[in-house]
Amino acid sequence: MPKQQQADNEIHEDQLLNFLVNALGEEVALNLGDNAEIDAEAIYEVLVGACADGTSVSTLCGSSKNSPAANTILYHLRTKFEPDRLERVANTLLRQDIVELLSE
C-alpha cells in the first residue's frame, strides 16, 4: 500500500506563486484574444514574481530565461486593465486567504 505524503506545514514559493496566479485569474479576467502570443497565466506569473522580488516586470523578464518579453507583458497590462486596480484586488485576495491559511 502506498504511503501517503504528509504536509510539511510550510508554504513553499511555488505553492504561493500558483495560489496567487490562480486567485488573480479567478478575480481579474484577462481576455487576450485568439492571436495573442502569450496567455493570461504567464502574465500573472511575471506580475506576481516581480512583486515578490520587489522589482519591475522589465527587470524580471530581462533576468529570466523562461520569461516572455517585458514589452509583451507591459503592453497587455496597460491595455487590458488599470495596474492600480489589479494591485488592490491582489492585495485584498492575499489578505483574505492568507488569514485563513495561516490561522493556525
Specify if 43 maps to a domain. Answer: yes
Specify if 30 maps to a domain. Answer: no
Q: How many domains does the chain have?
A: 1
Specify if 49 maps to a domain. Answer: yes
Q: Which class for 48: exposed (0-12), middle (13-18), buried (19 or more C-beta within 10 A)?
A: buried
**What does pTM read for this prediction?**
0.67
Q: How far apart are CA 17 and CA 41, in angstroms?
A: 11
Least confident stretch, 8-12, 20-24, 61-65, 92-96: 8-12
- Domain holding 57, by residue range, is 38-104
Specify if 68 maps to a domain. Answer: yes
Residue in the structure block whose three cell numbers are 529570466: 64
Predicted local confidence at residue 40, as pLDDT: 87
Q: Quick one: cell of 44?
A: 500573472
Task: Report the chain's terminal Cα–Cα distance, integer Å.
Answer: 31
Specify if 12 maps to a domain. Answer: no
